[in-house]
């Protein structure tokens, strides 16, 4: 069974490897802000003497080691010289570093040592880019030697001039002196570093270049990298578990450097993207947005050789300031503003994915950060991915603070736009004893109350009996009206006496349905009679009246209550008693006959 598992395992790894190889080797393109941009030029001495000092061509591996260890914000250039400049690669960004390695691999060691032309060229290259930090790393195995002294002097002078130019342009020159000849620290080449705040490193043997490059990376360029492993290979397959110390890094570079070829590299990882660059003595795995901390790799090296595995992580972040203010009553009596203190907290987010906060890993927790705030030094510590800047007191007016954060203390490379401009709002003014708003407010309040009262009074006066949707009118009658109505309002809500009223029905067209309210309106009765609008009268057969009650009034005839929704006949000379919906107003309706001679009398009058 064991062989079955091994087979499956190998298949998977192979598949992964295949996938890795099939992936386009395309570096992640990141727009580096100018303020975060840095530039470096590798200046290689390719004179004939290097053949003796660097038989194994280890210098090329060192170039690879250097340029692949640099974070993405480094622009890289390459110049190789002997009698003259033999190779020169323009400044390239992170994605173009392979071209430098191609150029370096094509260089042959031969000719004299025209370091003047080389350095001049390097300075020229650096002058073509806009970067906050410019560096020349120069690898040379000896003094400037040309075909004749005159030329030598000329080149030496040119070299000096270039050094001066570098000094003027804040270009640091770090020199790796290879071979015993460079043991003398006072040679012309080494003097370049002295004049440009650079540093000399002496590598007696070619194998020592690697450590010199390491030193430059760590000490001079402050590149954060960790050495994950140093493996002494036995010629077989070596397996290795590499841990990326930080999660959520934008990029993680795993650089395998060996003095012998590295073969059959296989890796098992999770990342958004990957790029692999392999040289003779080095292999680079560049993981974009690695999502797992563990990377399993296997490779094969030559027996007796050593493989060094470096891990370089980098964060490309955006700083998000959060300002909280605390306003205090000032002690001074003549103060016009509050005493304002601003607390600035800065959190860090991935530039490509601003919603994702970074630097929240446990290894960053409690790490101290420092920097400047408007030139003033500050320090703080990361807590849950947030650093608190020292409180800013006496914020009197609107202002903008430039905050620079130094991530030196973190074990990772941080690419960030610096400085961070934080706008602070000035302290609000102290409240002045101004009563105008109070007066205006009270005035508006009184006005509203008066309007409300007027509205209530008008509503009260205008108040009418409850508006219930009127029931449908009874059907018109086919009979004619004959008599008259005697109306006696026996009780009113207002206790006013209403004189007896008479309403002549015989003058009304027969088909018309009358509401009691219409009749009262016809008699000019101003007293409100709730429900009168829903008591209907129409002519009935045999000189009768038909009364339909659709109201909630109590209507009585002959000690019988006339029900709502029903119609009743009112005969001649009979009466109905109505108590209206307000339960106060009462009325007697008497239906009387009008004889034809009386009608004639009416007509006459």
Partner 1 sequence: MTIIDQTNRTLLLEEINPEKLDLLTLIGDVKGIDSLSDDKIKEINQHLECRSYEEFQEKFAPCIYSFFDANSQAVKYTLKKPENISDSMLTEIPLNQSNDFLKMLFTLMESKKSQGVLNVDFGFENLLDMISPKKVMDDIRQVRKEIRYNYAKYAELEDGDPAKLDVGDKLNTLFEEASNNYNNVMAMLPLAIEDIKTRLLLGSGDQKGSNNQIALGMLTMGDKGELKVLEAPKQESTALATLDDNINTGLVAALEEDYQAINESPSDYVQSLVVRTFCPLPSTTQSKIDVPTEVANYNSYLQFYKNAKDDFIKVVKPLVEKLLGIKMFFDQYKCKTKGMIPTLVVANLKPEMLAKSSSLPTLHAYLNTVNSKNNFKNTIWYAIFPNLSITLQAGAKLRRERFAGNVHKVNEDVNSLETLSCLLDVLKDYRIETFFSFEPREETTFNAVAAEGIQKFIDRCEPLVGKSYSEFAIPCLPNFTVIPKNKSGVTLDKLMTISEDSTTAQLSEAKEDVMRLWIEGVYINAAYIAAGFRAASQCPEYLKDHYRRLKVDSELPGVRYDVEAGNHALCTRTTMPKEITGFTNSIKDQINRKNFGWIFASENAVLDGQDITQITVYKARNLLYDPDKSTYEPAYKTQVTTYIERILRHATGDFKQDNIVQFFSNNPKSQKSLWLAKKDCVNAVLEEGDNLDYTIDEGTGICDLTIYFDGNARNLEVLISRISSK
Task: State in angstroms the smallest separation of the CB of 455 from partner 1.
Answer: 35
Look at the block and give the residue holding tokens 């009304």: 508
Angle at CA of residue 579, ends 578 and 581, nearest 5°: 125
In the complex with partner 1, the residue whose CB is nearer, 459 or 524, is 524
Task: State in angstroms the smallest separation of the CB of 488 from partner 1.
Answer: 5
Distance CA 365, CA 350 (A): 18
- 495 near partner 1, rule: CB under 8 A: no
> Phi/psi of residue 98, each to 5°?
-65, -30
DSSP 7: H
Look at the block and give the residue holding tokens 């990376």: 217
Distance CA 146, CA 144 (A): 7
Distance CA 416, CA 318 (A): 6
Among 291, 384, 490, 494, binds partner 1 (CB under 8 A): 490
In the complex with partner 1, the residue whose CB is nearer, 324 or 491, is 491
- 577 near partner 1, rule: CB under 8 A: yes
Among 30, 489, 545, 553, binds partner 1 (CB under 8 A): 489
Task: State in angstroms the smallest separation of the CB of 489 from partner 1.
Answer: 5
In the complex with partner 1, the residue whose CB is nearer, 60 or 484, is 484
Task: State in angstroms the smallest separation of the CB of 574 from partner 1.
Answer: 6
In the complex with partner 1, the residue whose CB is nearer, 169 or 502, is 502
> Phi/psi of residue 185, each to 5°?
-80, -5
Among 4, 462, 464, 604, binds partner 1 (CB under 8 A): 604
Contact 158, 116 (CB under 8 A): yes
Distance CA 494, CA 502 (A): 21
In the complex with partner 1, the residue whose CB is nearer, 112 or 591, is 591
The SS3 call for residue 331 is: coil
Q: How many residues does the chain have?
A: 605
Task: State in angstroms the smallest separation of the CB of 554 from partner 1.
Answer: 10
- 581 near partner 1, rule: CB under 8 A: no
Q: Which residues make beta-bridge pairs with 577? A: 556, 588
- 499 near partner 1, rule: CB under 8 A: yes
CA atoms within 13 A on the CB side of 158: 21
Site map for partner 1, 582-601, x if CB under 8 A? ------x-x-xx-xxxx--x
Among 51, 197, 574, 582, binds partner 1 (CB under 8 A): 574
Q: Which residues make beta-bridge pairs with 33? A: none
- 455 near partner 1, rule: CB under 8 A: no
Contact 577, 471 (CB under 8 A): no
Distance CA 73, CA 75 (A): 7
In the complex with partner 1, the residue whose CB is nearer, 394 or 595, is 595
- 353 near partner 1, rule: CB under 8 A: no
Task: Report how many residues bind partner 1 under the rule CB under 8 A.
Answer: 32
Task: State in angstroms the smallest separation of the CB of 517 from partner 1.
Answer: 18
Contact 313, 252 (CB under 8 A): yes
Among 60, 281, 340, 575, binds partner 1 (CB under 8 A): 575
Give residues with Cβ within 8 angstroms of 562, minimum separation 6. 547, 549, 555, 556, 568, 576
In the complex with partner 1, the residue whose CB is nearer, 358 or 594, is 594
In the complex with partner 1, the residue whose CB is nearer, 132 or 579, is 579
Among 222, 500, 507, 583, binds partner 1 (CB under 8 A): 500
Q: How far apart are the first and last CA of the chain?
A: 132
The piece of 197-205, 280-288, 497-505, 527-535 that touches partner 1 (CB under 8 A) is: 497-505
In the complex with partner 1, the residue whose CB is nearer, 306 or 574, is 574
Task: State in angstroms the smallest separation of the CB of 475 from partner 1.
Answer: 24
- 573 near partner 1, rule: CB under 8 A: yes
Residues 379-398 that bind partner 1 (CB under 8 A): none
The piece of 277-285, 424-432, 452-460, 570-578 that touches partner 1 (CB under 8 A) is: 570-578
- 318 near partner 1, rule: CB under 8 A: no
Task: State in angstroms the smallest separation of the CB of 508 from partner 1.
Answer: 18
Task: State in angstroms the smallest separation of the CB of 536 from partner 1.
Answer: 20
Distance CA 10, CA 102 (A): 33
- 516 near partner 1, rule: CB under 8 A: no
The piece of 47-55, 321-329, 379-387, 481-489 that touches partner 1 (CB under 8 A) is: 481-489
Distance CA 346, CA 422 (A): 10
CA atoms within 13 A on the CB side of 524: 2
Residues 537-566 that bind partner 1 (CB under 8 A): 543, 556-560
Distance CA 361, CA 462 (A): 75
Q: Which residues make beta-bridge pairs with 74? A: 38
Give residues with Cβ within 8 angstroms of 248, minimum separation 6. 289, 315, 350, 356, 358, 360, 361
Distance CA 365, CA 420 (A): 22
Q: What is the largest CA-CA distance in the chain?
A: 160
The piece of 33-41, 363-371, 482-490, 545-553 that touches partner 1 (CB under 8 A) is: 482-490
- What is the full DSSP assignment across 64-99? HHHHHHS-TTEEEEEEEESSSEEEEEEEE-GGGHHH
Among 31, 459, 497, 524, binds partner 1 (CB under 8 A): 497
Task: State in angstroms the smallest separation of the CB of 469 from partner 1.
Answer: 30
Distance CA 376, CA 404 (A): 10
In the complex with partner 1, the residue whose CB is nearer, 442 or 561, is 561
Task: State in angstroms the smallest separation of the CB of 575 from partner 1.
Answer: 6
Distance CA 585, CA 582 (A): 7
Q: Which of 152, 145, 139 is nearest to 190 (CA)?
A: 139
- 507 near partner 1, rule: CB under 8 A: no
Cis (ω within 30 of 0) for the bond into 419? yes
Task: State in angstroms the smallest separation of the CB of 550 from partner 1.
Answer: 20
> Applying CB under 8 A, which residues contact partner 1?
486, 488-491, 497-500, 502, 543, 556-560, 573-575, 577, 588, 590, 592-593, 595-598, 601-602, 604-605
């Amino acid at each position: 069974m064991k062989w079955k598992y091994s087979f499956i395992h190998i298949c998977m790894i192979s598949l992964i490897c295949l996938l890795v190889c099939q992936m386009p080797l395309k570096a992640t393109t990141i727009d580096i802000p100018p303020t975060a941009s840095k530039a470096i030029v590798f200046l290689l001495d390719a004179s004939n003497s290097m053949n003796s000092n660097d038989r194994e061509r280890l210098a090329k591996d060192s170039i690879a080691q250097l340029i692949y260890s640099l974070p993405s914000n480094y622009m890289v250039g390459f110049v190789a010289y002997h009698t003259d400049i033999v190779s020169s690669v323009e400044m390239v960004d992170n994605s173009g570093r392979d071209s430098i390695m191609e150029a370096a691999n094509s260089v042959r060691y031969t000719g004299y040592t025209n370091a003047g032309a080389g350095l001049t060229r390097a300075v020229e290259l650096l002058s073509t880019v806009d970067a906050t930090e410019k560096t020349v790393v120069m690898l040379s195995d000896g003094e400037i030697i040309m075909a004749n002294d005159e030329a030598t002097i000329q080149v030496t002078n040119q070299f000096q001039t270039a050094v001066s130019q570098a000094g003027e342009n804040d270009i640091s020159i770090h020199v790796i002196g290879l071979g015993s000849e460079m043991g003398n620290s006072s040679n012309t080449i080494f003097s370049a570093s002295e004049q440009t705040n650079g540093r000399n490193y002496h590598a007696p043997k070619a194998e020592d270049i690697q450590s010199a490059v390491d030193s430059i990376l760590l000490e001079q360029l402050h590149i954060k990298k960790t050495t994950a492993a140093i493996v002494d290979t036995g010629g077989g397959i070596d397996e290795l578990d590499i841990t990326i110390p930080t999660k959520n890094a934008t990029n993680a570079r795993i650089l395998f450097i060996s003095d012998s070829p590295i073969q059959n590299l296989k890796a098992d990882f999770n990342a958004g993207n990957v790029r692999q660059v392999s040289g003779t003595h080095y292999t680079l795995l560049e993981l974009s947005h690695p999502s797992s901390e563990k990377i399993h790799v296997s490779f094969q090296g030559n027996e007796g050789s050593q493989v060094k595995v470096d891990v370089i992580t980098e964060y490309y972040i955006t700083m998000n300031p959060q300002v909280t203010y605390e306003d205090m009553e000032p002690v001074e009596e003549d103060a016009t503003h509050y005493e304002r203190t601003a607390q600035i907290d800065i959190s860090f987010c991935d530039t490509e994915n601003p919603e994702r906060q970074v630097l929240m890993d446990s290894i960053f927790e409690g790490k101290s950060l420092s920097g400047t705030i408007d030139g003033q030094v500050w320090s703080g510590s990361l807590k849950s991915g947030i650093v608190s800047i020292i409180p800013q007191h006496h914020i009197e007016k609107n202002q903008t603070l430039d905050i620079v954060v130094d991530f030196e203390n973190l074990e990772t490379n941080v690419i960030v736009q610096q400085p961070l401009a934080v706008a602070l709002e000035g302290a609000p003014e102290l409240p002045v004893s101004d009563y105008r708003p109070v007066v205006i407010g009270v005035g508006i309040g009184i006005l509203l109350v008066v309007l409300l009262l007027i509205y209530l009074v008008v509503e009260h006066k205008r108040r009418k009996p409850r508006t219930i949707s009127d029931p449908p009118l009874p059907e018109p009658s086919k009979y004619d009206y004959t008599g008259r109505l005697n109306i006696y309002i026996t009780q009113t809500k207002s206790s006013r006496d209403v004189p007896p009223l008479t309403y002549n029905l015989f003058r009304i067209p027969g088909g018309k349905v009358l509401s009691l309210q219409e009749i009262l309106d016809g008699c000019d009765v101003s007293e409100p009679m709730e429900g009168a609008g829903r008591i209907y009268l129409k002519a009935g057969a045999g000189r009768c009246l038909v009364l339909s009650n659709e109201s909630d009034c109590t209507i009585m005839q002959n000690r019988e209550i006339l029900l709502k929704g029903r119609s009743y006949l009112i005969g001649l000379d009979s009466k109905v008693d109505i108590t209206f919906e307000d339960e106060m107003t009462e009325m007697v309706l008497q239906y009387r006959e009008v004889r034809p001679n009386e009608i004639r009398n009416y007509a006459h009058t």
